[in-house]
Amino acid sequence: MVLNASLAIANTCRESRSYETYVAPRSDFILQGDLALHPKLVLDGWAAGYRVTYDGRRQVTKVYLPGDLVGAWRSSQSSFHHSVMAVTRLSLKTLTIFPDPSILQRECALVERLLENSVFRLGCLNAYERIAHLFLELGDRLERRSLGLRNAYRMPLTQELLACLVGMSPVHINRTLQQLKADRAISLTNTRLEILQPDLLADMVSYDAL
């Protein structure tokens, strides 16, 4: 269903006067408060939505993967509530018309599920469980988009971004990653992540497939 939704959105790109843009890594292409005139489809690369407090603290609120829409979901949302930066080199299509409402409804359901997962991670899980839960979710999303395997994929998020995503310090992220490796729960070399026992880990951290 998720893959079919992405294909339908891609068809909308071809039917509308959409145009492709590229964003360099670690560059903002949307700022909090910008008008949400047209949604953007991520064609390639990863992006992160985030908010910053008045004193400079940052919380990453969403990770955008290929096939995700960035932008207006509902007519009542006239501006962006967070900034969005490219994590890797990013390829985007700006849509001049909205996809079919049924497609948007399915995509909105996925967004709401991801938000629920994020609240659950931050509210109920310890550091070890938060990272494991996040890695399982990312793998699930990528496999559903036919962009990788659930238990083996390229994971370009830096320790700094991971820290902002799961509410921990970069030092704590580093220690927790080392513990996950020592327990043979994951293998992480450069950006290549492998989840060695995904079903066992999912049971341990109460992860339910999307």
Map out the domains of the chain as residue ranges: 2-94, 125-204
Q: What's residue 168's pLDDT?
A: 94
Cα–Cα distance measured from residue 164 to residue 71, given in angstroms and rounded to the nearest whole number: 21
Tens-digit pLDDT profile for residues 185-209: 999 999 999 999 999 999 999 999 9
The strand pairing partners of 59, in sequence order, are: 51
Specify burial of residue 142 (Cβ count, 10 A radius: 0-12, 13-18, 19+): buried
Residues whose CB is less than 8 angstroms from the CB of residue 146 and which lie 6 or more positions away in sequence, other chains included: 3
111 pLDDT higher than 90 = no
79 pLDDT higher than 70 = no
11 pLDDT higher than 80 = no
Percentage of the chain modeled with pLDDT above 70: 86
Q: What's residue 7's pLDDT?
A: 47
- What separation in angstroms does the CA of 139 have from each of 33, 60, 71, 164, 192? 31, 18, 23, 19, 12
Most confident range, picked from 63-67, 69-73, 93-97? 63-67
Q: 2-94, superfamily in CATH?
A: Jelly Rolls (2.60.120.10)
90-94 β-sheet, strand order:
19-23, 90-94, 40-44, 69-70
105 pLDDT higher than 80 = no
Q: What's residue 3's pLDDT?
A: 44
Q: What's residue 102's pLDDT?
A: 73
Write down the CATH number for the domain with range 125-204: 1.10.10.10
